Amino acid sequence: MAENNADHGYLLDNRQSEAGVRFGALGELFDPVTFRHVDQLGITSGMRCWEVGAGSPSVPLGLAERVGPAGAVVATDIDVSWTRAIDGGVVEVVRHDVAADPPPPGGFDLVHARLVLVHVTDRAEALRRMVQALRPGGWLLLEDADPGLQPLLCPDESGPEQRLANRLRSGFRDLMAARGADLAYGRTLPRLLREAGLEDVRADAYFPITSPACAVLEAATVRQIRPRLVAAGLATEEEIDRHLTNVATGRLDLATAPMISAWGRRP
């Protein structure tokens, strides 16, 4: 998901050079989780899917493999620069604001958004529009972070390197909250899906606590938000340099915020 406004919305602009690195790390960490759920929901040949806030190509392409030439995947985002290259055939790429624009027409067997709604200011309206886009019997699969459940970058805070890492992660959360992110949103998803009238609602959660992809993601994220951390007085240039050096050693056990996956079916 992207937000082009410099003062409001998504902190991590898709247009920045680090975005591709972040997308790759996020895909390595979370694509297996996403597609485990997609496959359990029975998404298969001939179905229509809407990928909301697509960001990178990996999820739309994975959905396209499952629905085949007889199906369709609509991949939308405010910034389509990273998905434009896959437009055509099964995948249709559309610039779209999920909280402001009408849903793509036609009705969908699956609507999916990953790590999107926590950053959307009008989450309730975005959710309403996604439910509206479901065909009868269609599934809504929402996957979002809940940094409030596990706020630490290094859950095993065993030394000064880990303490610095956790302090910088706290600063990152402060920046997100200041832009309207709901740091406790993930845990609310099952209730929100039920309140939206969906049936057979279930949920689970996943977060790695040690992975090379976590280190790649952390370094790219810190480089992307570095000027904002410094400008807000949350860290000094020297502290950021020291943290990036620590991350590069590979000896920190870095975690992500839990990603909660919740799904429900339209009657």
Nearest alpha-carbon partner for 81 in 63, 116, 58, 57: 57
In a domain, residue 157? The reply is no
Predicted local distance difference test score (pLDDT) of residue 180: 85
In a domain, residue 168? The reply is no
Q: How many domains does the chain have?
A: 1
What is the domain range of residue 39?
Answer: 19-149+180-208+257-265
Strands 108-114 and 134-145: parallel
In a domain, residue 261? The reply is yes
pLDDT band at 51 (very low <50, low <70, confident <90, very high): very high
Output the domain CATH number for residue 65.
3.40.50.150
In a domain, residue 131? The reply is yes
Question: How large is the average pLDDT for residues 62-75?
Answer: 98
In a domain, residue 235? The reply is no
Are 175 and 232 in contact by the 8 Å Cβ rule? The answer is yes
Nearest alpha-carbon partner for 193 in 99, 135, 267: 267
In a domain, residue 218? The reply is no
pLDDT band at 256 (very low <50, low <70, confident <90, very high): very high
Instruction: Give burial (CB, 10 Å; 0-12/13-18/19+) of 32.
Output: exposed
